[in-house]
Amino acid sequence: MEWKPDRLLHLILIYVMLSGFTFWLPVSRGLLDGQSYSWSGWMGIGGTGVGGQYWLLLIFTALMTTVVFLGWRNAQKPFHWLLLTWFILLVIESGSWFFSSETVHLKGDTLGTDLSLGKVIFPLDLLFLALSFVWVIRDMRLNRPPHFPLWIRVNRNLLILFFCLLPLQFIVLRFFDHYKIFDQIGVILTIFQWILLNLSFYPWQTKSQGSRYFHP
């Protein structure tokens, strides 16, 4: 039996990937930049390098990465509950911005970005939380067998490229961060790296591994 994500799951996972940039960037830069990088997040969490509440940021990033991995690799349990947990966290985060009297901006000093998102992201997060509930209920009713997409050469090569970027990011961000152009290159590489990781999980070949299951 062949399996591939349906259109709704594609849309949901792409949104998870997009929402993940605000977590992947500080996690990567905190580790690679070191003490020269200061970051701040929602509900007052923040730190310098891997200090402060970096451990909390790691938990969020691990959850997000698990969601996209399981989502692209046949969305078996515990994907349903992890997906809903992720969107509930996003709603709590963006809701704190939405109902705040302050204007919340997504700022990136390196690339010069300054976007006012406080009143925009919350409705989107609510929408995708609702869509996730719809998909989870529908999928649980199908009671799909645990057939998984093959891990083929494309997946492997993309994952290798993902890891190959790490030393280049480290050199650019750690030793040349006082040059703005190199800092910008490092940020672009980090963004590209997150996209690569998602692409490495994607079921490029939809043929299932059903032959691995034997029935008497």
- List the chain domain ranges: 7-212
pLDDT for the residue 145: 76
Burial 54-77 (b: 16+ CB within 10 A, else e): beebeebbeebbebbebbbbbbee
pLDDT for the residue 216: 37
Alpha-carbon span 80 to 71, nearest angstrom: 9
| pLDDT tens across the length of the chain (216 residues) | 566 789 999 999 999 999 888 889 989 988 888 888 887 766 667 888 888 888 888 999 999 999 999 999 988 889 999 999 999 999 988 887 767 655 554 555 555 555 556 577 888 999 999 999 999 999 988 877 777 788 999 999 999 999 999 999 899 888 876 677 878 888 899 999 999 999 999 998 744 444 443 333
pTM of the model: 0.82
Within 13 Å, how many C-alpha atoms sit on residue 132's CB side? 26
Phi first, then psi, for residue 46 (nearest 5°) are 180, 180
The answer to whether residues 23 and 60 touch, using CB atoms and an 8 Å cutoff, is yes
